[in-house]
Amino acid sequence: MTDSKHGLTITEVRLTPILVADPPLLNTQGVHQPYTPRLIIELITEGGATGLGETYGDTKYLDLARPLAAALIGRSVTDLNGLPALAAEVCGDSPAATGADAVDVGGLRGVQTADKLRLSVLSGFEVACLDAWGRATGLPVHALLGGKVRDRVEYSAYLFYRWAEHPGGRGERDDWGAALDPAGVVAQARRFADTYGFTSFKLKGGVFEPAQEVAAVKALAAAFPGQPLRLDPNGAWTVATSLTVADQLRGVLEYLEDPASGTDRMAEVAAATPLPLATNMCVTTFDEIAGAFTRGAVQVVLCDHHYWGGLRNTRELAAVCRTFGVGLSMHSNTHLGISLAAMTQVAATVPHLDHACDSHYPWQTEDVLTERLTFRDGGLDVGDAPGLGVELDHERLATLHRRWLADDGSHRDRDDAAAMRLADPHWTAPTVPRW
Ligand code: GKR
Ligand code: MG
């Protein structure tokens, strides 16, 4: 569908892959590489509005984004319900999509299907369409989604075990220092609380023996009495270990996130503990909902608009969760301000957002915006500026793109296990529960 009458027809789409600095954050797969790929989407309408979107920038996403970008020319930014069919049509037989049914995205995380890949790519275009539509009409994205039901969105501090620097001193430096024990985790949390006012804390686990991670959570509970805490080992534990940890942290955690991998194991854990379980791993598509919800495998879904195919699907997921009495919050992976703005806009429209959302953003010292988003009192205000309310810094974008162009290929596809092998040559990411 074109929209010449309102100037909303897309006349140009620019795709700019970039590499952004990432600190040496540890997880069950390995460690973050010094640079992470992201894709920045700029979509221009006949009337001169520009819409911004952001998604994963690994090669397999770029391979799908390119044909989709070309196919969008001549269509209206309002034609959002047509996007999935268009994406299926133009990306369906691309090498990335056809091979994707068997792409192993890191053992415990299972396989990434062609559908999941497509949705992640599509999400960036959906956000860019909404941004352009909002800018063209003077409306914020939340208005296009039906209007905000809150003026602020709460975020949690996302704590990571980390090294002071990347192996071999590669990449950019920061002044956070190492956090490898309970005291280091508490110090990191304190800095997050003092700087951004966060009052809830999530620790990325699956890195050390569960007992050490339990000790870190207990240290957090002592340092921040009564404040919401979560622990997320990304499926690294067996059912038995998950239950031991759940028992030790009952009354301490607000929820335990993906202790075990897959719906079967999560259902087993959930059946044997009163501690609520959250996931961003076993429920990541609409197809996975019925199996998990009907078995009571999860009590909270952590939505990520990238996985779920955009902001409107996020709202559909929210409705399903509400129907089943399952809580909703948001997951985050390494991302920049365009995605944070999108997360905030949609979060503002969801009635039952039950927990503070996750965001990696404070770890990202680089951005492509003229002005970074700033967490205040643990949250972000929901503005009424047109679109997403953020502006692109073209020079910054060009600099980060040049870094991508200059890369020898070692950072163009995120590989935490490869990064870990620089410190431990024998490292392999676990494919079965580690503890
Ligand atoms: O960035 O290391 C990381 C996280 O482990 C990320 O990859 C996860 O997707 O943060 C995420 C989570 O909550 O599982
Ligand atoms: Mg998680």
Q: Which ligand is nearest to the CA of 22?
A: 1
* DSSP one-letter string for 12-61: EEEEEEEEEE---BB-SS-B--SEEEEEEEEEEETTS-EEEEEEE-SHHH
Q: For each of the domains in the chain, give its residue range(s) and CATH number, in order of start.
A: 4-141+393-407 (3.30.390.10), 143-381 (3.20.20.120)
Q: Catalytic residue at 204?
A: yes
Percentage of the residues of the chain whose pLDDT score is greater than 90: 93
Q: Verify whether residue 331 is a known catalytic residue.
A: yes
**ipTM of this predicted structure:** 0.94
Arithmetic mean of pLDDT, 112-139: 95
* Ligand 1 atom having least distance to the Cα of 258: 14
Mean pLDDT across the stretch 337-350?
98
331 lines ligand 1 (CB under 6 A): yes
Distance of CA 86 to the CA centre of its chain: 24
Tokens of 142: 């939340």
pLDDT of residue 113: 86
Q: Which of 306, 331, 335, 355 is catalytic?
A: 331
Q: Which residues contact 137 (CB under 8 A, 6 or more apart)?
A: 386
Cβ 333 under 6 angstroms from ligand 1: yes
Find the 333 Cα to ligand 1 centroid distance in Å: 5
Average per-residue pLDDT for the chain: 95
* Average pLDDT of the residues in 163-180: 97
Pocket test for ligand 1, best of 156, 207, 234, 329 (most atoms within 8 A of CB): 234
User: Which range has the worst mean pLDDT, 22-36, 81-95, 143-157, 308-322?
Assistant: 81-95
Q: Read off the pLDDT of each residue in 323-342 and give the average, rounded to a whole number.
A: 97
Query: Pocket of ligand 1, candidates 204, 213, 304: which has the most ligand atoms within 8 Å of its Cβ, to mutate?
Result: 204
Angle between helices 337-347 and 311-324 (to 10 degrees): 40
Rounded Cα–Cα distance for residues 264 and 267 (Å): 5
**Residues, Cβ < 5 Å to ion ligand 2:** 232, 257, 280
Measured distance CA(41)–CA(48) in Å, rounded: 16
Q: Which of 79-93, 323-337, 376-390 has the lowest mean pLDDT?
A: 79-93
Q: How far apart are CA 362 and CA 359, in angstroms?
A: 7
Q: Is residue 284 within 6 Å of ligand 1 at its C-beta?
A: no
Q: Which atom number of ligand 1 is nearest to the Cα of residue 26? A: 2
Residue 430 alpha carbon to ligand 2 centre in Å: 16
Assess whether pLDDT exceeds 90 at residue 365: yes
Q: Starting at the edge strand that comes first in sequence, how are the strands of the sheet with 277-279 ordered?
A: 157-160, 201-204, 229-232, 255-257, 277-279, 300-303, 327-330
The predicted model gives 383-408 an average pLDDT of 98
- Going by pLDDT thresholds of 50, 70 and 90, the confidence category of residue 112 is confident
Q: Quick check: CB of 234 below 6 Å from ligand 1?
A: yes
Give the position, in ligand 1's atom list, of the atom nearest the Cα of 334.
1
Q: Is residue 5 predicted with pLDDT exceeding 80? A: no
For residue 302, which atom of ligand 1 is closest to its CA?
13
Lowest-confidence pick of 92-101, 197-206, 236-245, 310-319: 92-101
| 92-101, 270-279, 302-311: range with lowest mean pLDDT | 92-101
The SS3 assignment for 176 reads: coil
Q: How confident is the model at residue 109 (pLDDT cuts 50, 70, 90)?
A: confident
Residue 6 pLDDT grade (very low, low, confident, very high; cuts 50, 70, 90): confident
33 within ligand 1 shell (Cβ under 6 A): no
- Evaluated on CA atoms 88, 91, 94, 96, the torsion sign reads negative
At residue 111, the pLDDT reads 66
Average pLDDT rounded to a whole number, residues 147-162: 98
User: Torsions phi, psi of 249, nearest 5?
Assistant: -110, 15
Helix (H, G, I), strand (E, B) or coil at 384: coil
Res. 104 pLDDT band, cuts 50 70 90: very low
